[in-house]
Chain A
Amino acid sequence: MSWNASLPLLVLASSLVPGLIIFCLPEEKQRTRTTLNLVGVLLKLALVTFMVWGVQQGEHYETRIPLLPGLDFVLRADALSMFFALLSAVLWLATTIYAIGYLEDSPHRSRFFGFFSLCVTATLGVALAGDMITFLLFYEMLTLATYPLVVHRGTEAALRAGNVYLAYTVTGGALLLAGMVWLHTLSGPLEFTANGFLAGLARDHAAALVAIFVLLIAGLGVKAALVPFHGWLPQAMVAPAPVSALLHAVAVVKAGAFGIIRVIHDVYGIELAAELALTGPLAGLAALTIIYGSLQALLQNDLKRRLAFSTVSQVSYVALGIAIAGPVATIGGIVHLVHQGLMKITLFFCAGNLAETLGIHKVTEMRGVGRRMPWTMAAFTLGAFGMIGVPPMAGFFSKWFLGSGGLDMGQPWVVAVLIVSSLLNAAYFLPVLRAVWFEDPPEAWPAERSFGRSETSLMLLLPTLSTAFSALAVGLLASMPLSPLQWASLVASLEYRP
């Protein structure tokens, strides 16, 4: 196993091994657990950045283990996988610090952080997967790793939410499996190859390919929370804040969206997808989800459920961008992966801070919170503006590219959808901001806890501010060579090479 072959495995091991050790740690070993966590995350970040730099230089990292005759377990680092891996590694650092602060004295922390590390391993595995069977392996591992996090509190509601979550995601996994086996019987090995490996089959298996596409997208749609399959997302809000941040900004939802990108770009290829008229209905479904998600968010009084529905609509931007195809829209779709990640994780951190320090869960209880927790609310405002798409926040750029991409491809209705959704975003964020900053606070907060001089514990505040600041920075420095925007355009250009 040469260095290039073992690097992807090392990336996975860097969180798997600490995770397994943490499982065996007794509850009171707080310090060792925290150091293990941080060492794991930092090591992973270093390895991923090294790999990013390696891929930049043209190195080829690939691990291959034969799994079944004709099918191998492949981990490969290409432009798109590095894009998602870097996002996961960075946001995982923030979420880990936040989780350590959030779960200060709650029970079962060893169990929590054990599954937390398994989750990051699964996400990295999804990012680095080189063929569909490896993708499925880590996709299912993600389900198994996140279920214990969703039901971590053990309350009746948590268990019910866990069951709903399981029902959706395992059914999704089953559909994905069926689609993959069918594809395997038609086309043999399922390696991801730039713009698809099914070109030859289009002539005589057209109907089968369409059916397989529906199965694959349905399987991935569950995790990407497309409309008919999004039911589990709002219910999973019963989980602790770092888990909801994890699920919505980084791991589960993005794995689904990432899978859709892989299927369209590296399994079917853009031309074949367009030729079989698959992208049209997908675009429609994505648009429907965007509108529906925003509308539902409007009606929710619970802050985390509102953010959940906003995620449902935001993730479909990625699907929309990919479905419209064309170089500009693809850039918009891919870059939104990162932008939405940064903004949504900030919002969830703020929601967590509010719940943890003041016991606020409902939007109506947030009147005048700005005076009590100015920094958190500043981050919240930045995140909200990003969601609405106010320049120079990151959200603006992805919407800009999506809109212009849609126009280039002669799909004007895309711009209309973007405008309507931006208005809806504004409708469910601006009144909250107004209440937060300009109304006077109630006499007593529901469950106030004081943290000395600073408004809340630093472990909670710092990650929130850093992700808010990075969302802003990504927007401002979009033109810099190493910004996510440039990276996304590099990925898109690989896709559209003549």
Chain B
Amino acid sequence: MGTLSPDSPWTIWVIFSPLAGAVFTFLWPRRARLAVPLVALGTVGSVACLVWQVAELGVQSHALGGWAAPLGINLYADGLSAMMLLTTALVGAAVTFYATEYFRRASETARYFWPLWLCLWTALNALFLSWDIFNLYVAFELLGLAAIALVALAGSADALTGAMRYLLVSLLGSLTYLLGVALFYSTYGTLDIGLLGDLTAPSAASWAATGLMVAGLLLKTALFPLHFWLPPAHAAAPTPVSAILSALVVKASFYLLLRLWLEVFPVTAAGLGHLLGLLGALAIVWGSLQALRQTRLKLLVAYSTVAQLGYLFLAFPLALSPVAATAWSASVFFILSHALAKAAMFLAAGNILRFAGHDRIAELGRAPYGVSLSWAAFGVAGISIIGLPPSVGFAAKWLQLEAALAGGQWWWTLPIVGGGLLATAYVFKIISCVFSQNGRTSGTNGISWRMEWTAFGLSLAALGIGFAAPQLLALLNSGTPLALHEVGSAP
């Protein structure tokens, strides 16, 4: 068959251990309590091995079914996918640990949470590894459906309407993406990203395909004007689900856009890049202002996701300068930092919601003393969201500022720094509740230590991993996904 670098088995285990877990937990729901930790360990272990292989030996690939690129489907793990898999494994393991506790009482929904969540995890891993645009469409659809089913698991009226709106947006996004795939296939005759990358040349068809795919992916990534569906869905979902959605699912479609932008799209027009940058800047300002206006905690955190997503899109205009490598690695760092910090924030908010019985910010005052660890987690996660040192968020912000200034586009520093200030405003709007006198809480049902320590552990990870930045950059570099020659050192 094809002559490819040695087929690493880990790429397969990474995808199929959660899928096998999903089928198992669906068939024997009562034994899920035993199976889920095993499956989670298996997945995280295989991701760790794969990431170690990518870091040590460079790109890992696997020709599925034994057929080489144009005919068969390829799995391809380079630095970028390794980073995304690492983020998914970290947040996924933490949320799994949290969910075993969160659903202890509600065994009815728990029976269906596990298969759905493990399917979602499979879809994420499959999306990050797949090297074939149609296969990405199927993984994308699997991801969307699993996420929507999880949102609807909450059962409340706004959860269901949020899920419905999310479903309509998700289907529309996938269909436009599919049209893009159709156009690309009929012009270049292959579905493999690598081969497409060499063949694509600017022509009417590839422009239309690029436009369609970008539109579909922007819809799914909830960039500023198309963000209407995200806050109700993320806020109304059960706590572990909102953490997964904000931290991972929204990033998957951005990863797809980034991958296609780097490898496939013919010539990335400066205009489109600047448009995305502008929308990103607007997202930061609009998301933060909306977050400030919210009266409910989980909606505030959801709008903060809309704002933080804006940072990711600032990389597109910045990459049009000679310092493209720094800009891209900055947005990958933002993905890691936002995933960890936002998951911690949502889990902490969930704990506070379950302890206080409501999440109206005005009356959260006296809440803290039953769940002080969750408040600490919220605060520490806030540090990473704002981008204060030594968090990963700071490393990302530093690289992005450097890319802006070294690339000669100094005006992009305004949304970056401004976003930090606005983030401070809405994070401390919540933190000041800890110190305020007023506020009424029922404070009835206790929160198990596991739920609090998961949130705190994630926020500490967001803070501590900042010190591992050089190693992460080295990992990101393997296989030069982002056309990185050398990153970060000043010109």
Contacts and interface: CB of A to CB of B under 8 A. Distances in A.
A300 B56 CA distance: 67
B406 A163 contact: no
Choose among B390, B435, B470, B491 the residue with the greatest number of A CB atoms under 10 Å from its CB: B435
A186 B397 CA distance: 18
Interface in A121-156: 133, 136-137, 140-141, 144, 147-148, 151-152, 154-155
Contacts of A66: 470
Interface in A158-189: 158-159, 162-163, 166, 170-171, 173-174, 177-178, 181-182, 184-188
A185 B435 contact: no
Contact of B432 (A144, A163, A178): A163
Given A69-B487, A70-B488, A184-B490, A166 B417 contact: no
A66 B388 CA distance: 17
B183 interface: no
B444 interface: no
Given A73-B467, A133-B389, A174-B417, A185 B405 contact: yes
A420 interface: no
B452 interface: no
A1 interface: no
Nearest to A182: B405
A182 B398 CA distance: 10
B405 A181 contact: yes
Nearest to A134: B389
Nearest to A208: B405
Nearest to A114: B376
B258 interface: no
A250 B397 CA distance: 30
Contacts of B487: 69
Contact of B389 (A137, A151, A155, A185): A137
Nearest to A174: B417
A144 B490 contact: no
Contacts of A69: 470, 473, 487-489
Nearest to B329: A69
A75 B182 CA distance: 58
B395 interface: yes
Interface string B432-454: 10011100000000000000000
A174 B490 contact: no
Contacts of B470: 66-69
B406 A178 contact: no
B329 to A, nearest CB: 10
Contacts of A447: none
A144 B401 contact: no
Q: Is the interface of B mostly helix, strand, loop or mixed?
A: helix
A444 interface: no
Nearest to B380: A144
Choose among A66, A141, A152, A181 the residue with the greatest number of B CB atoms under 10 Å from its CB: A181
B398 A181 contact: yes
B487 to A, nearest CB: 6
Nearest to A187: B490
Given A67-B466, A155-B437, A163 B428 contact: yes
A422 to B, nearest CB: 39
B469 interface: yes
A65 interface: yes
B420 interface: yes
B401 A70 contact: no
Contact of B435 (A158, A166, A171, A182): A158
Nearest to A170: B424
Contacts of B469: 67-68
B413 interface: yes
Contacts of B406: 185
A147 B390 CA distance: 18
A65 B395 CA distance: 14
Nearest to B333: A68
Interface in A2-49: 23
A159 B436 contact: yes
A144 B413 CA distance: 23
Nearest to B420: A174
A65 B466 CA distance: 11
B136 to A, nearest CB: 32
B424 A151 contact: no
Choose among B389, B397, B428 the residue with the greatest number of A CB atoms under 10 Å from its CB: B389
Nearest to B424: A170
B489 A70 contact: yes
A446 B435 CA distance: 28
Nearest to A68: B469
A375 to B, nearest CB: 34
Contacts of A187: 490
Choose among A65, A66, A69, A159 the residue with the greatest number of B CB atoms under 10 Å from its CB: A69
A419 to B, nearest CB: 41
Contact of B402 (A23, A163, A170, A185): A185
A71 B413 CA distance: 20
A73 B489 contact: no
Contacts of B116: none
B434 to A, nearest CB: 8
B383 interface: yes
Contact of A159 (B386, B390, B424, B435): B435
B421 interface: yes
B436 A154 contact: yes
Nearest to A151: B435
B348 interface: no
A121 B417 CA distance: 26
A148 B402 contact: no
Contact of A68 (B383, B395, B417): B395
A136 B389 contact: yes
B428 A147 contact: yes
A137 B390 contact: yes
Contacts of B129: none
Given A144-B383, A159-B436, A184-B402, A70 B389 contact: no
Contacts of A71: 398
Given A70-B490, A159-B436, A65 B388 contact: no
Interface in B415-437: 417, 420-421, 424, 428, 431-432, 435-437
B489 A170 contact: no
A179 B428 CA distance: 25
Contacts of B386: 170
B399 interface: yes
A152 B467 CA distance: 31
B276 to A, nearest CB: 22
Nearest to B434: A148
B402 A154 contact: no
B436 A177 contact: no
Interface of B: 376, 383, 386, 388-390, 395, 397-399, 401-402, 405-406, 413, 417, 420-421, 424, 428, 431-432, 435-437, 466-467, 469-470, 473, 487-491
30 contacts: A67-B395, A67-B469, A68-B399, A68-B488, A69-B470, A70-B488, A133-B389, A133-B398, A148-B435, A151-B435, A154-B436, A154-B437, A155-B437, A163-B428, A163-B432, A166-B428, A170-B386, A174-B417, A174-B421, A177-B397, A177-B420, A178-B401, A178-B413, A181-B402, A181-B413, A182-B405, A185-B490, A186-B490, A188-B489, A188-B490
Minimum-distance CB pairs A-B, first 6: A69-B488, A137-B389, A181-B401, A185-B406, A151-B435, A140-B388
Interface of A: 23, 65-71, 73, 133, 136-137, 140-141, 144, 147-148, 151-152, 154-155, 158-159, 162-163, 166, 170-171, 173-174, 177-178, 181-182, 184-188
Given A68-B398, A184-B402, A185-B491, 19 more contacts: A68-B399, A68-B470, A69-B473, A133-B398, A137-B390, A147-B431, A154-B435, A154-B437, A159-B435, A159-B436, A166-B424, A170-B386, A177-B397, A177-B401, A178-B401, A181-B401, A185-B402, A185-B490, A187-B490
